[in-house]
Amino acid sequence: MAAERYTFGMEFLSCDPSTGETVYTRPGWSVDRLQQAISRLRQHQHAWRGRPIDERVARIRRLGELIEANVDRLAPVITLEVGKLIHEARAELEKTARLCHYYADLAPTLLQPQTIPTSASRSGVSFEPLGLVFAVMPWNYPVWQALRFAVPALAAGNGCLLKPAPTVPQSTALLLELMQEAGIPVFDVAWIDVDAVEAAIAGCDAVAFTGSTRTGRLIASLAGKHIKKTVLELGGSNPVLILRDADLATAAQECAMSRFRDAGQSCNAAKRLIVVPEIADDFLQAFMAEVTRLTPGDPRQPGTTLAPLHRADLRDQLHDQVTDACRHGARCLSGGQVPDGPGFYYPATVLDHVSPACRIYHEEAFGPAASILRAENEADAVRLANDTPFGLGAAVYSQDLPRAERLARDIEAGSVFINRHTSSDLRLPFGGVKASGYGRELSEFGLYEFVNVKTFWQR
């Protein structure tokens, strides 16, 4: 649809997930306002790409310092809007600051032109910015997700336009304030409705999206229509294989931490725990001991270890998946009931004997519900791991490292961790395969996603 058909943007609204109360609203943009922002960003980006890279990364480093200095100011806002535990909000910000310093160190070397021997007197490649990168980002990590795409893109000389989730306007506004204080004029926030997304895609040069597979398909189709480069980081239903020689105490502790941190609302969290017969009952006993220690409550309080879900509808969707699993033969070992009282709380839920008859076997569970899948043997465990439309992360627990590595190579995922919970590391590429998307963020691979790798050849 043409941009002229859109008149006003949506309202952005913060709701405290621990109480259900609305705490902040702000109006959205008109499409005219969007077009003005794109035009202004283009002017700034033309100057930004011409600045020495050392100057660009100095401002990115300054952004990291500002985030570090403002953790106590930003973390409570993230907790208020997202609902995550206060220490999880602080950890998000600290990791984001490290991201800024990482690319400030890395980019000047990796973005230098490279000489490649050919028959020419001089030939090679240079790394030029694409222009403006438009990003549609989710609510669960409002600062980390936004800067995970933006920092390497900015270092490469691009401008960035962020459409945040409509439920995190305060976190986003504070991030924009720090960008401006750091002297980065080529980052702006598009306060637009979903109906204006195509206009933004058409006006920019590349697209980054993190979110559901369903929305990712729509974003990719619009980007394809306008021939824009895309990176998609979509959902995950990440398997964890616990083999017969695993350290069960470590596996149980890390699986519980990975599954229930951020109230289970992380794309790369452990979600399907696949156990072989020899250790199934022992692992489950150890895992349940970890689960029973979780304490739901106010995410601002230090004693709380299980946060509320972000929205009421997300809790409803998760509960529907749990109810469906129980109807189709899964055993609910804990949780599984919507609690009374205010807020969007849901208990730590463990479903044993999850089978293909259950929706949760095939769908991503975005909340505090762990699925136990019982494999016949190790080969069957790999089959179950791959029997999903997703392919983001996975983990294998075994003390036989050569065997664990062989099995890991057979798992269809963007990353596989051995004897460690699924996670992300600044130095390693992050992304998925299958319905979990394509392209990579982080590491040097993330730095090269939004550049024109330009060949030069001189006789």
Catalytic residues: 233, 267
Alpha-carbon span 239 to 318, nearest angstrom: 18
3 state DSSP class of 365: coil
Q: How many helices (H) and strands (E) does the chain have?
A: 15, 18
Contact (CB, 8 A) for 297 and 308: no
In 51-168, which residue ranges form alpha helices assigned H by DSSP?
A: 53-69, 71-82, 86-110, 144-155
Contact (CB, 8 A) for 310 and 166: no
Alpha-carbon span 200 to 38, nearest angstrom: 8
Alpha-carbon span 437 to 146, nearest angstrom: 17
Bridge partners, residue 46, by sequence: none
Alpha-carbon span 358 to 323, nearest angstrom: 9
Two tokens, residue 177: 């304030």
Rounded to 5 degrees, what are φ and ψ at 278?
Answer: -60, -30
Rounded to 5 degrees, what are φ and ψ at 416?
Answer: -135, 130
Alpha-carbon span 456 to 51, nearest angstrom: 21
- Taking the CA atoms of residue 417, residue 420, residue 422 and residue 426 in that order, the dihedral angle to the nearest 10 degrees is -80
